[in-house]
């Protein structure tokens, strides 16, 4: 029987917070770690990896809808192309701006200015709500033209894709709410940063996804 | 224990394989040249997989028996053998892929059907098969060798027009609708498969072929039966609560009987 | 917080942060974020689902042999589906559909991955928990919601859905065609929830494997169990989104008047259906794009457990570890490009069928590599015939039997005859059903002492193995012969088909039903052994009772909260260092330094 002495090689300490936002020593995965405004790189990396993997799953969902749309449009002569409502371009602009505001929040976080973070997160959430409202107006505009969900497959896919994206964006809004809570009640420094980084990544992906969907709706006839 | 494990694997797996060699439960005899070709492909596959099956199960049982003994010596230090693995992998790849190629010509014959006119010609019988819950409808073009237009929405099950043939149309007036299929022996038959409601599947075991009838699509099957007889058509795609009783018959008859039957049917119109 | 005693096998470790233990019953056992508790929750859900699914299969078997017979208890339970206790054909189809759905989703997908994967993946890689514990909890409870919806389908007006587990439209999309209420809708909603749960779980598994491995645990040192859970998670991530999309489309077709899958001009029982332009084949493509990877989602973890256990109990290194890893990866990749072999006779392009066929045959190659290497692992070993080992050997035998019939079905020419016959039923039950379940039996028997700190009854386990092994061959072997006749599947009775009246179909059915009743009875032995052993099994106090090598055997049984109590062992070697020449023992744990294995000055003794 082998007996070996147990020797702890490195010691990680629980990340501490003093409420204001400065952290003494950033814990790293196997100890060490870099100092500076970015603490707890490992956690940030993990959360961002999670978002990237999730993006893979979401892409498959929309890829399936896209292929269904492409196939369906070629199946029958009941496909009636239509112009997308102009308000979608407004909503696109709003969404793009919201990405910049969230980026602003991330900048404030790096600077350690947590009041600023809250401000920018609030702004982003507001723009997100405006985007969703625009999407609803888009639905209204379409239905006023007499295009309903079941009118023809082109309309079905319009409602489906915009709703699918909207729901995913709503998920992003929830994440922002979580960020907001975390920022307000300073509990664990590390998760707070990681969540902001992850939410920002997800939000930017929502932009890309939306532009893709808009392109698909506008150009696939 | 080791003895028991080894023997059981041999016994159980062999017991499962035995009926494939004794042919206790077997396919009905094929009635087309194509069917015999498919049977040939099946036999090649049976031999190929049979050899692998017996080798693998025998080796598994043997390993359990041989290396299950309790002794003080350690297990062999063996963690792989690239050459052996490559050989095995290569052999498996060659067997598996060549089997597919071996059966390709039969597949091409059944399904690579070029687009020809849908109407029959003197040397080719064309029958339109329409599946519906839970019956098969067969339509023949009649004396003019032309199919009339159909509209399922005009169909009338009780009135003897289950697929909605336009009887007013000159092509449709003489179309023959029957519940069972009758074809002349040694003549090419082409089926046009349709469905009125849900998916069905046209399958005649003796022909060795089947194809889904898909609503909204037209499927094509071709065969040349060479044996007179009565064969069963069974539905092989779940189509609802009566799926198990959705069936019909394929009658392969002599050319004279076929012509006589056609005339007889025409008189009913 | 009590100090956790790590096994003296651990040469060195890293200290990490410890999380406080949950205090209340609810946070500890119900809405737990501990991967071990969640793993057990998944397992219990799978056990319940498995017994429900098994009961349904019994009804299916009974109806096939005695279509007219009255079972009084059924009349009371299902007054509509079985009036006076006689099962109607639609009731038969509903039972069949629910059996397939429950088994595929709620058993084969949950237990190997959500159950064992959740419990042992973090421990085997030296992590305190999954990457996202709260997400993990959400995955389980979403699965639970999904299961509840599925169960509710039994009790709504019109009864459970009857369109088969594949839910092919128009039967599933046009309510008139199936004469049903909202059972089918509940089915779709259940599947949708299941997709979401599986996506969240897959994300968690992938991040955990990539990001949380102990120091020194490189990818090529991972236990094969971890590899299969990892690849399974990737398959799940890429496949379930597609099924979710398909499910949403189907639900819209049913309820909102869209026409994705339903073509125009349909007439169901003399009634025109108001749809236009959709394609039933579109559903089949989407469904099988998910459906084929799903087959591997079910079987890959079983392969991993088998590889793991064969090495452990043969006291031998896994034969061709790298080849095994590449084979798993190859199966995962090829699994996404072979879905068309489910659709050879669907009316899909006959040209693409040929491509799908060749790709399908290619997938036979990595499967052959695995089989060969399993036998190679046993070869020259010193086999210990414990009950988990027996299940693993059984797995290999079943895998060979079930896999080789796939060579027939993967050829479009031969599939023309066998498609939708009992030959197919025999094929997928052997490989994806029974083999995968043998993998689970093996996992339960192997990890039980670690999970519960008690032993399962070894004799009962062996009796259960022998009866089940013979039983499943007795059930599914004869189904091949039924397929030869050929007996179409999903027939509520076979009395209507003339050629099945001769040729012994009735005898075969009778034999299968008797074998099924026997095998199902035997499963209660397993259930009894499982439940009894949790509470009254022989205590297992050792950390490493099987003399295994991986990290879960360095911690107490059952593992404490946070697994390693804040001390993550360092890893120095691959997962299967058995019978190393010159070593002091016939196994070297992953956390053993060379000095500890071979002796020497630095060993410390």
How far off is chain A from C345, nearest CA to CA, in Å? 20
For residues C393 and C113, what is the distance between their CA atoms, to the nearest angstrom?
21
Phi and psi angles of residue C475, each rounded to the nearest 5 degrees, phi first: -80, -50
Whether residue C334 contacts residue C366, with contact meaning beta carbons closer than 8 Å, is answered with: yes
For residue C315, list chain B residues with Cβ-Cβ distance below 8 A.
74-75
How far off is chain A from C432, nearest CA to CA, in Å? 24
Residues contacting C43, CB < 8 A, separation 6+: C111, C115, C116, C119, C444
Whether residue B53 contacts residue B13, with contact meaning beta carbons closer than 8 Å, is answered with: yes
Whether residue C45 contacts residue A39, with contact meaning beta carbons closer than 8 Å, is answered with: no
Residues facing residue C272 across a β-bridge:
C267
Q: Do B68 and C383 touch (CB under 8 A)?
A: yes
Determine the residue among C13, C122, C245 to mutate to test chain A binding: the one whose Cβ has the most chain A Cβ atoms within 10 Å. Answer: C245
pLDDT range class, residue A21, cuts 50, 70, 90: very low
C317-331 CB burial, b ≥16 within 10 A, e <16: bbbbbebbbebbebb
Q: pTM score, two decimals?
A: 0.94
Tokens representing C126? 């030296």
Determine the residue among B198, B213, B222, B246 to mutate to test chain C binding: the one whose Cβ has the most chain C Cβ atoms within 10 Å. Answer: B198
Residues 32-91 on A with a CB inside 8 Å of C are 42, 45-46, 49-50, 53-54, 56-65, 67-68, 71-72, 75-79
Q: Assess B59–C contact: CB distance below 8 Å, yes or no.
A: yes
pLDDT of C206 reads 97
The SS3 of residue C489 is coil
Chain B residue with Cα closest to C465: B5
Q: Do C277 and A77 touch (CB under 8 A)?
A: yes
Residues 567-586 on C with a CB inside 8 Å of A are 567, 570, 584
pLDDT of A185 reads 65
Q: What is the pLDDT along chain B (269 residues), one digit of tens a residue?
A: 788 899 999 999 889 999 998 999 999 999 999 999 999 999 999 999 999 999 999 999 999 999 987 666 788 887 778 888 888 888 888 988 888 888 888 888 888 876 665 677 788 899 999 999 999 999 999 888 899 999 999 888 888 889 999 989 999 999 999 999 999 999 999 999 999 999 999 999 999 999 999 999 999 999 999 999 999 999 999 999 999 999 999 999 999 999 999 999 988 87
For residues B223 and C564, what is the distance between their CA atoms, to the nearest angstrom?
69
- Taking 90 as the threshold, does the pLDDT of residue A103 lie above it? yes
Q: What percent of chain C stands above pLDDT 90?
A: 82
pLDDT range class, residue C89, cuts 50, 70, 90: very high
Q: Which of C509, C590, C491 is nearest to C550 (CA)?
A: C590
Chain C residue with Cα closest to B219: C347
pLDDT tens-place string over residues B207-242: 999 999 999 999 999 999 999 999 999 999 999 999
Contacts 24+ apart (CB under 8 A), C280-283: C280/B199, C280/B214, C280/B215, C280/B216, C280/C168, C280/C169, C280/C170, C281/B214, C281/B217, C281/C343, C281/C346, C281/C347, C281/C348, C282/A68, C282/A71, C282/A72, C282/A75, C283/C167, C283/C168, C283/C169, C283/C173, C283/C246, C283/C249, C283/C250
Residue C384 CA from chain centroid, whole number: 26
- Taking 80 as the threshold, does the pLDDT of residue C601 lie above it? no
Of residues C299 and C78, more confidently modeled:
C299
For residues A13 and A34, what is the distance between their CA atoms, to the nearest angstrom?
14
The length of chain C, given as a count of residues: 605
The SS3 of residue B204 is strand
Q: Do C269 and B99 touch (CB under 8 A)?
A: no
**CB-CB neighbours of C85 under 10 Å:** 16
| Mean pLDDT along residues A69-95 | 92
Whether residue C143 contacts residue C197, with contact meaning beta carbons closer than 8 Å, is answered with: yes
The SS3 of residue A28 is coil
What is the average pLDDT score of chain A?
82
Residues contacting C583, CB < 8 A, separation 6+: C577, C597, C598
Which residue of C277, C473, C491 is in closest CB contact with B16? C473
Sign, Cα dihedral of B252, B258, B260, B261: positive
Name the packing angle between helices B82-111 and C350-378 (round to 10°).
160
Q: Assess C605–A contact: CB distance below 8 Å, yes or no.
A: yes
Chain C residue with Cα closest to B233: C497
pLDDT range class, residue C604, cuts 50, 70, 90: very low
pLDDT of C2 reads 64
- Taking 70 as the threshold, does the pLDDT of residue C101 lie above it? yes
Residue position matching structure tokens 């597949």: B107
For residue C351, list chain B residues with Cβ-Cβ distance below 8 A.
112
Determine the residue among C127, C135, C138, C211 to mutate to test chain A binding: the one whose Cβ has the most chain A Cβ atoms within 10 Å. Answer: C211
For residues C338 and C342, what is the distance between their CA atoms, to the nearest angstrom?
8
pLDDT tens-place string over residues B109-132: 888 876 665 677 788 899 999 999
pLDDT tens-place string over residues A123-166: 999 999 999 999 999 999 999 999 999 989 999 999 999 999 99
CA angle C533, C535, C539 (to 5 degrees): 70
Calculate the alpha carbon distances from C443 to C301, C367, C436, C451 in Å: 10, 21, 11, 11
Q: Which of B179, B79, B187, B55 is nearest to B129 (CA)?
A: B179
Calculate the alpha carbon distances from C194 to C33, C98, C188, C199, C428 in Å: 19, 15, 10, 9, 22
């Amino acid at each position: 029987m082998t007996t070996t002495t147990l020797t702890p090689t490195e010691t990680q300490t629980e990340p501490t917070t003093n409420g204001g936002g400065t952290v003494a020593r950033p814990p790293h995965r196997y100890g060490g770690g870099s100092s500076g405004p970015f603490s707890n790189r490992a956690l940030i990396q993990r959360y961002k990896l999670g978002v990237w993997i999730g993006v893979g799953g979401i892409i498959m969902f929309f890829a399936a809808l896209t292929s269904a749309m492409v196939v369906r449009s070629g199946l029958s002569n009941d496909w009636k192309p239509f112009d997308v409502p102009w308000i979608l371009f407004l909503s696109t602009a709003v969404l793009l701006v919201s990405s910049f505001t969230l980026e602003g929040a991330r900048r404030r976080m790096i600077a350690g200015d947590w009041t600023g973070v809250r401000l920018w997160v609030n702004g982003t959430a507001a723009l997100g709500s405006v985007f969703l409202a625009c999407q609803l107006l888009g639905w209204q505009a379409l239905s006023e033209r007499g295009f309903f969900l079941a009118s023809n497959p082109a309309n079905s896919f319009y409602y489906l894709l915009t709703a699918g994206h909207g729901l995913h964006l709503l998920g992003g809004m929830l994440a922002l709410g979580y960020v907001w809570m975390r920022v307000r009640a300073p509990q664990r420094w590390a998760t707070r940063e990681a969540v902001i980084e992850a939410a920002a990544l997800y939000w930017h992906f929502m932009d890309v996804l939306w532009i893709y969907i808009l392109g698909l709706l506008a150009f696939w006839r | 224990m080791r003895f028991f494990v080894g023997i059981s694997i041999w016994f159980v797996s062999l017991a499962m394989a035995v009926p494939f060699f004794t042919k206790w439960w077997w396919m009905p005899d094929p009635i087309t040249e194509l069917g015999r070709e498919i049977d040939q492909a099946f036999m090649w596959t049976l031999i190929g997989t049979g050899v692998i099956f017996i080798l693998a199960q025998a080796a598994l049982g043997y390993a359990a028996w041989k290396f299950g003994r309790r002794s003080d010596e350690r297990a062999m230090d063996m963690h792989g053998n690239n050459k052996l693995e490559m050989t095995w992998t290569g052999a498996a790849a060659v067997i598996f892929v060549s089997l597919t190629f071996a059966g390709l010509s039969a597949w091409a014959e059944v399904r690579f059907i070029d687009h020809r006119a849908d109407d029959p010609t003197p040397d080719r019988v064309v029958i339109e098969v329409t599946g519906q819950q839970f019956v098969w409808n067969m339509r023949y073009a009649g004396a003019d060798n032309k199919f009339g237009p159909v509209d399922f929405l005009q169909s009338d099950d009780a009135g003897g027009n289950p697929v909605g043939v336009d009887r007013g149309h000159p092509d449709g007036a003489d179309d023959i609708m029957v519940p069972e299929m009758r074809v002349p022996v040694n003549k090419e038959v082409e089926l046009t498969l349709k469905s009125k409601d849900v998916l069905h599947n046209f399958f005649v075991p003796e022909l060795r072929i089947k194809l889904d009838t898909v609503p909204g699509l037209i499927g094509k099957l071709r065969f040349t039966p060479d044996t007179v007889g009565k064969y069963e058509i069974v539905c092989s795609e779940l189509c609802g609560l009566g799926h198990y009783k959705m069936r019909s018959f394929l009658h392969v008859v002599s050319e004279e009987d076929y012509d006589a039957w056609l005339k007889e049917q025409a008189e009913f119109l | 917080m009590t100090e956790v005693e790590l096994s003296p096998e651990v040469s060195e470790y890293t200290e990490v942060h410890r999380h406080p233990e949950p205090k209340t019953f609810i946070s500890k056992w119900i809405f737990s974020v501990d991967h071990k508790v969640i793993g057990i929750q998944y397992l219990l859900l799978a056990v319940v689902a498995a017994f429900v699914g098994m009961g349904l299969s019994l009804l299916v078997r009974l109806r096939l042999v005695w279509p007219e017979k009255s079972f009084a208890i059924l009349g009371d339970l299902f007054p509509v589906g079985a009036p006076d206790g006689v099962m109607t054909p639609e009731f038969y189809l509903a039972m069949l559909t629910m059996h397939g759905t429950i088994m595929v989703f709620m058993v084969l997908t949950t237990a190997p991955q959500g159950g064992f994967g959740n419990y042992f993946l973090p421990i085997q890689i030296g992590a305190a928990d999954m990457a996202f514990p709260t997400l993990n909890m959400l995955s389980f409870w979403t699965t639970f919601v999904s299961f509840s919806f599925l169960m509710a389908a039994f009790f709504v007006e019109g009864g459970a859905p009857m369109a088969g587990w594949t839910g092919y439209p128009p039967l599933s999309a046009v309510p008139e065609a199936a004469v049903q209420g909202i059972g089918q809708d509940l089915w779709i909603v259940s599947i949708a929830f299941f997709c979401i749960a599986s996506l969240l779980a897959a994300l968690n598994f992938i991040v955990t494997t990539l990001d949380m491995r102990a120091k020194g645990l490189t990818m090529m040192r991972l236990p094969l169990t971890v590899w299969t859970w990892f690849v399974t998670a990737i398959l799940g991530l890429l496949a379930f989104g597609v099924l979710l999309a398909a499910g949403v489309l189907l639900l819209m077709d049913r309820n909102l008047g869209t026409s994705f899958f339903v073509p125009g001009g349909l007439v169901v029982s003399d009634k025109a259906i108001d749809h236009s332009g959709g394609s039933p084949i579109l559903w089949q493509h989407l469904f099988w794009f998910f459906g084929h990877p799903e087959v591997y989602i079910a079987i890959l973890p079983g392969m991993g457990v088998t590889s793991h256990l064969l090495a452990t109990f043969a006291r031998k290194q896994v034969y061709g570890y790298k080849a095994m890893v590449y084979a798993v990866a190859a199966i995962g990749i090829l699994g996404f490009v072979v879905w068309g072999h489910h659709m050879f006779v669907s009316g899909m392009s006959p040209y693409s069928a040929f491509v799908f066929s060749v790709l399908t045959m290619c997938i036979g190659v990595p499967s052959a590599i695995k089989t060969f290497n399993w036998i190679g692992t046993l070869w020259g070993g010193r086999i210990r015939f414990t009950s988990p080992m027996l299940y693993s050997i059984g797995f290999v035998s079943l895998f060979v039997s079930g896999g080789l019939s796939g060579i027939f079905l993967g050829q479009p020419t031969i599939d023309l005859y066998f498609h939708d016959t009992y030959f197919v039923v025999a094929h997928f039950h052997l490989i994806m059903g029974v083999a995968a379940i043998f993998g689970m039996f093996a996992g339960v028997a192997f990890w039980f002492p670690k999970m519960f700190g008690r032993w399962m009854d070894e004799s009962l386990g062996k009796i259960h193995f022998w009866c089940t092994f013979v039983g499943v061959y007795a059930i599914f072997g004869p189904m091949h012969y039924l397929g030869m006749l050929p007996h179409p599947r999903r027939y509520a009775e076979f009395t209507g088909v003339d050629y099945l009246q001769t040729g012994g179909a009735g005898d075969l059915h009778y034999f299968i039903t008797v074998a099924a009743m026997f095998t199902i009875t035997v499963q209660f032995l397993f259930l009894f052994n499982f439940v009894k052993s949790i509470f009254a099994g022989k205590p297992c106090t050792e950390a490493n009772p099987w003399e295994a090598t991986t990290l879960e055997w360095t911690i107490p049984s059952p593992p404490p909260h946070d697994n390693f109590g804040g001390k993550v062992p360092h890893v120095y070697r691959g997962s299967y260092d058995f019978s190393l020449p010159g070593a002091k023992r016939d196994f070297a744990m992953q956390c053993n330094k060379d000095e500890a294995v071979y002796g020497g000055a630095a060993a410390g003794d």
